[in-house]
Structure 1
């Protein structure tokens, strides 16, 4: 069985891919919150985002990750 760690990138023939621009619902929550996800209960900090995915799944997105990963649609 292959095993990969966070510290080292394996010497494999990686290709480049761009994530499809799939719109999701999101709202920034300004107080601590919890949400039941497919993986269990997640806790959000003040300023984190509550996300609703394409299949209705809910999850928390850290505010710093949101800024790097998403652009709000007008």
Structure 2
């Protein structure tokens, strides 16, 4: 069976945590065309959640997930465990 490796690409990503949400949503998400990311806060910031319009349809984003802007400008959520196995920080 053929084996494939992911091509090295650089992406923009932001982890959706209460602390980061309080600091402010980054510009690459706030100013995205067609506003594909909607984030919410309830109960004085105790609960955060959101939705992302992806190429596959509407997906939920939960606290701790990463919000990724892909190579074609698309957005999608990624669970922290998968993100850490897939990406490294570019200095």
Q: TM-score by structure 1 length?
A: 0.74
**Which residue of the other structure, out of 68, 75, 79, is the alignment partner of 1:51?**
68
Shift of 1:17: 2.4
2:78 aligned residue: 61
Structure 2 unaligned spans of 5+? 18-47
Structure 1 unaligned spans of 5+? 1-13
Question: Which structure carries more relative contact order (alpha carbon 8 Å, separation 6+)?
Answer: 2
Structure with greater helix share of residues: 2
Structure with greater strand share of residues: 2
CA RMSD between the two structures:
1.1
Q: What is the total number of aligned residue pairs between the two structures?
A: 61
Q: TM-score by structure 2 length?
A: 0.62
Deviates more, 1:45-54 or 1:32-41: 32-41
From the CA coordinates, give the structure whose radius of gyration is larger. 1
- Extract structure 1 runs of 4+ deviating beyond 2 A: none
- Residue 37 (structure 2) pairs with residue 20 (structure 1): no
How far apart are the structure 1 equivalents of 2:3 and 2:11?
23
